[in-house]
Amino acid sequence: MTDAPPPASPPPRPEARPATRSPLSDGEWHRMHPLTPLFRGGIFLLVVGGIVIANLRERLIEWFLPMIAPGVSGDAFPDDPVDFVFEHNLLLIALLVVLGVVVLLVGAFYLSWRFHTFRITGDDVEVRAGVLFRSHRRAPIDRVQGVNLTRPMIARLFGTAKLEVVGAGLDSNVKLEYLSTANAEAVRADILRLASGMQLAHAADASPAGTRLGAAASAVSAGIAGLIDGAEDPADEPDSVVDIPVGRLIGSQLLSGGTIGLILAIAAIVVGSIVGTPWLLVGMIPAVIGFAAVWVRGITRSLRYSIAPTSSGVRITFGLFTTVTEILPPGRIHAVEVSQNLMWRPAGWWTVTVNRLSGRGVAASGADQFATVLPVGTRADVERVLRLLLPALPEDEWPLVFGHGILGPADDDPFTNTPRRARLLRPFTWRRNGLHLTDRALFLRRGVVWRRLAIFPLARLQSVDISQGPVDRALRVASVRAHTIPGRVSGTLGVLDRDAALGAFEGVASRAIAAAASDRSHRWAGHVSPAATETTGSPEVAEPGEPETAVTAQADPRGQSESRPSD
């Protein structure tokens, strides 16, 4: 085992931004970017255009590319709709029909833009859409879990982006699509400041009519400028604390479990085609094409990756063609897992995933693309990321992450492991299978081939339970499960000593209540007075661990479910 690198120093604390309200967050209804209907209905237009071209391809070749089919006349196309129009003198009617379709499309796009509005108040983010069938979605500010900013490739060419306000319930997200990139950044900053408990100052123009007129003029101007310049001009991007080389991304994909599985599948198909029928090779082609698409998407998705601290939380950006930026505010991370597969071990690479509310359905939670906050990184990269995600973890507990957690067990192992009498239930992992509880977090360690360490902040823990099967009762062991929001990080750890599991149960229950009672990350700037914000232009937020004066502790409501194994 190599010497452990020196602990990564925590990144510098970013300066807070002035809390000036943007013109689009004045509590009035505003419309989206003028090009929104085009981006939202562009796929439909492409499909219609493709159908038209497919039906008129011969006539289009005759008109525009006669050198490809010389000597071909309209007589060769008796079923061509263009010939039918000319032969029956229906040209005027055809032009009127085309003009009518164009007018209907333009009118539909205008109505769609006209009735698609949003507003941001001190309590909610609301979006209204629809002409015949109206919809009205609302996201309470105090339940906002984050704000994602996505810039698809085509929208980036016009300098636009879409916002997704992540709510606390299932399918509760509110989407603002599309806004100019500058407006999207400003609106996102306003929403996050309001979610922090801070009051915003008034906009520069206090007149509602003037504000609406200025916002509309700004939107139109941004749309025209985007059409002319075609440039993406995002707001200030903080420096990333992690840099992932392209070679590491490619290597991580080559050494992934999916690649090994594909190689084994190809070898089996080749052997089967040699000893059996050669038609098995044909069935290999779709699998290779599908895997290549997933492989390339995995690389391009992780390009332009950055992670950095901001005054509103941890900012994560990734994507080559479609750029996605997510901000995880303080207190929104419910579980963190550091994992390493066997193929990555010689290179010393790890990946970091989290559980946090995504506002999507339960089925989409396990495949959440935002769950991976570090695709592949070294030990130093992992420590920097974890210090951003778990700022409240005391310095003396950091050895639990690598020294005893990922690389353990080491000497003086503090984890409660599987007892020797039950090692047959975990023949390879019984020494690593362990649990450790501190005042701040619950650590679950498992796996030998795929090393995993899950960290659950007690302030976010929902409940804990213990279960036993008949074999467990005979061996006096039990399974412990930490309940959190659905996600890719599992909170289940089995085959622990029964008495140790009962002690962990009692300890988690009492410490989680204490941690939730003292937690103030839900409204992380709620103790900043509006007067101080408007006077100084920046909030004064206490550092983690500083004494809190004249602050009412706010804890998320949670229920404790208790269950004990039978003796």
Question: What are the Cα distances from residue 283, in Å, to 9, 244, 277, 295, 514?
Answer: 52, 36, 11, 19, 58
Q: Judge whether 32 and 213 are in contact, CB under 8 Å.
A: no
Q: Judge whether 333 and 389 are in contact, CB under 8 Å.
A: yes
For the chain, how many residues are written?
567
Amino acid at site 514: A
Give the pLDDT score at 536. 37
Gap between the Cα atoms of 222 and 186, Å rounded: 14
CA angle 346, 350, 355 (to 5 degrees): 160
Gap between the Cα atoms of 425 and 494, Å rounded: 9
| Closest C-alpha to 141, from 98, 199, 63, 183 | 199
Over residues 404-426, the mean pLDDT reads: 88
Q: Judge whether 226 and 160 are in contact, CB under 8 Å.
A: yes
Give the pLDDT score at 531. 41
| Spatial strand order in the sheet of 416-417 | 372-377, 350-355, 335-340, 451-457, 441-446, 434-437, 416-417
Gap between the Cα atoms of 409 and 346, Å rounded: 19
In sequence order, the β-bridge partners of residue 314 are 309, 328
Rounded to 10°, the helix 208-229/181-195 angle is: 130
Give the pLDDT score at 365. 46
Tell me the two tokens of residue 213.
Answer: 């007129």
159 phi-psi bin (left φ>0, alpha ψ -120 to 50, beta other): left
Tell me the two tokens of residue 548.
Answer: 């809190």
The lowest-confidence range among 142-146, 228-232, 394-398, 557-561 is 557-561
Q: Strands 174-180, 323-328: parallel, antiparallel or unpaired by DSSP?
A: unpaired
- Kind and range of the H or E element at 291? helix 280-302
Q: Is the pLDDT of residue 231 over 70?
A: no
Q: Which residue has the tokens 């085509």?
A: 154
pTM score, whole prediction? 0.73
User: In sequence order, which residues have a C-beta less than 8 Å from that of residue 377 and are 6 or more positions away?
Assistant: 242, 244, 349, 350, 351, 352, 385
Give the pLDDT score at 384. 92
The helix/strand/coil state of 146 is strand
The helix/strand/coil state of 544 is coil
Q: What is the pLDDT of residues 267-281, one digit of tens each?
A: 777 777 777 676 666
Q: Give the torsion through C-alpha atoms of 426, 403, 317, 162, to 10 deg.
A: 50
Over residues 275-291, the mean pLDDT reads: 70
Q: What is the pLDDT of residues 447-465, one digit of tens each?
A: 888 899 999 999 888 888 9
Gap between the Cα atoms of 216 and 106, Å rounded: 19
Provide the total of helices (H) and of strands (E) in the chain, helices listed first.
Answer: 15, 20
Of residues 379 and 552, more confidently modeled: 379
Q: Which residues of 474-487 are buried (b: 16+ CB within 10 A; e: fewer)?
A: ebbbbbbbbbbbbb
Give the pLDDT band (50/70/90) at residue 443: very high
The helix/strand/coil state of 313 is strand
| Closest C-alpha to 205, from 193, 221, 192, 218 | 218
First CA to last CA distance, the chain: 42
Q: Judge whether 272 and 280 are in contact, CB under 8 Å.
A: yes
Q: Judge whether 42 and 163 are in contact, CB under 8 Å.
A: no
The helix/strand/coil state of 330 is coil
- Kind and range of the H or E element at 443? strand 441-446
Of residues 316 and 209, more confidently modeled: 316
User: What's the mean pLDDT when you consider all of the chain?
Assistant: 75
